[in-house]
């Protein structure tokens, strides 16, 4: 088993990424917002198994190319296997993004749910900027965890009983102070991009809303429910409440807050099953802008 965490999460990534975006909205961004009408060379930082390439290449002008970088050897092997069966021009580089230096030859640098795992995202965004040509673009698809948590509806239960927004916001902020990593990076990126000199900065929100509908066909319902559970919705909490609360206290919560969060997650796990009516919007933020070399 690989020592790299994400090398051991390939099936999880494959089973859950589809919860995040609608293809027609991505097509709208490409054609109407970013106005990409000729082939482009894309570099994907922290590409995993090439998910973003699989989403974007069919929507981009023919002749577009995709290069992915990731330090996971299993992820790189999986990406090469997937794309070997497709007609796109691709390249996969196994390397630690913290160390790699790339030639300035790409039209677009992208990241997907990657910068939230980085202690110094500003440094990585600068690398992304340095890898694109003059008037190239940086596009970051990143989460906004507290926005995500506010976008649930579980029919038959008050949201405040399963989602403690105040406690969670404090937890995310304390985690950032402790680790330097921000699960709310998606909402911070427009500021970071502009401060680094990116021009024409904009930010959109994915329009994907997942509806666990008890009137949908059985196979679709099972697939969606399984993906939602694997994504972490309503996961069973530890039977040992003291272990759970002690962990949260070590992350910055008070004992009362930790107990309240344990009760909330336990209630969610108890109430959410394949017979539930649930609406969930991941609320992924998509930040972007133009790199002008003469201004850098």
User: How far, in Å, CA of 219 to CA of 224, rounded?
Assistant: 9
Question: What are the residue ranges spanned by the domains of the chain?
Answer: 5-144+183-208+282-295, 151-181+210-280
CA-wise closest residue to 178 among 260, 249, 107, 261: 249
Pick the CATH number of 5-144+183-208+282-295 from 3.40.50.1820, 3.40.50.150, 3.50.50.60, 3.40.50.300: 3.40.50.150
User: Can you list the residues of the chain whose pLDDT is less than 70?
Assistant: 1, 295-296
Strand order in the sheet with 278-280: 152-154, 278-280, 210-212
Tokens 């399984």, residue located:
226
Q: What is the DSSP letter of 32?
A: I
**pLDDT, position 222:** 97
- 49 and 7 in contact (C-beta within 8 Å)? no
pLDDT of residue 2: 75
Q: Is the pTM of this model over 0.85?
A: yes
Rounded CA-CA distance 122/287 in Å is 14
pLDDT at 295: 62
What kind of architecture, by CATH, is found in domain 151-181+210-280? Answer: Orthogonal Bundle (1.10)
- The predicted pLDDT at position 239 comes to 77
Sheet holding 132-142, edge to edge: 89-94, 65-70, 41-45, 106-112, 132-142, 285-291, 199-205
Q: How far apart are CA 32 and CA 126, in angstroms?
A: 26
CA distance 250 to 253: 7
Mean pLDDT of the chain: 96
DSSP 4-21: SGGGG-HHHHHHHGGGS-
**pLDDT number for residue 1:** 63
Contacts of 32-39 with CB under 8 Å at 24 or more apart are 33/202, 33/204, 34/137, 34/139, 34/288, 36/60, 36/61, 36/108, 37/61, 39/63, 39/64, 39/65
CA dist list (Å): 3 to 74, 180, 276: 11, 22, 37
Q: Tell me the two tokens of residue 225.
A: 């429910």
Q: How far is CA 136 from CA 24, 41, 109, 150, 273, in A?
A: 23, 10, 8, 34, 46
Task: Look at residues 204, 59, 47, 21 and name the one whose alpha carbon lies nearest to residue 110.
Answer: 47
């Amino acid at each position: 088993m690989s020592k790299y965490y994400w090398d051991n999460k390939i099936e999880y990534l494959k089973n859950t990424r589809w919860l995040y975006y609608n293809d027609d909205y991505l097509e709208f961004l490409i054609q109407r917002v970013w106005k990409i009408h000729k082939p482009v060379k894309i570099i994907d930082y922290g590409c995993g198994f090439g998910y973003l390439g699989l989403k974007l290449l069919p929507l981009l002008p023919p002749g577009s190319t995709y290069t992915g970088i990731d330090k996971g050897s299993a992820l790189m092997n999986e990406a090469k296997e997937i794309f070997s069966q497709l007609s796109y021009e691709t390249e996969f580089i196994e390397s630690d993004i913290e160390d790699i230096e790339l030639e300035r030859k790409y039209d677009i640098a992208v990241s997907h749910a990657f910068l939230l795992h980085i202690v110094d995202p500003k440094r990585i965004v600068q690398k992304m900027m340095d890898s694109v040509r003059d008037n190239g673009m940086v596009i970051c698809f990143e989460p906004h965890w507290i926005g995500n948590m506010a976008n649930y509806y579980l029919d038959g239960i008050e949201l405040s009983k399963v989602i403690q927004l105040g406690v969670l916001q404090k937890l995310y902020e304390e985690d950032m102070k402790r680790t330097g990593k921000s699960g709310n990076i998606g909402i911070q990126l427009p500021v970071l991009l502009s401060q680094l000199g990116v021009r024409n900065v904009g930010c959109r929100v994915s329009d994907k809303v997942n509806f666990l509908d008890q009137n949908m066909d059985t196979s679709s319902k099972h697939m969606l429910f399984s993906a939602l559970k694997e994504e972490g919705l309503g996961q069973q909490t530890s039977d040992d409440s003291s272990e759970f609360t002690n962990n949260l206290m070590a992350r910055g919560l008070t004992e009362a807050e930790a107990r309240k969060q344990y009760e909330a997650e336990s209630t969610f796990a108890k109430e959410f099953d394949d017979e539930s009516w649930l609406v969930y919007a991941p609320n992924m933020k998509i930040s972007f802008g133009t790199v002008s070399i003469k201004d850098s």
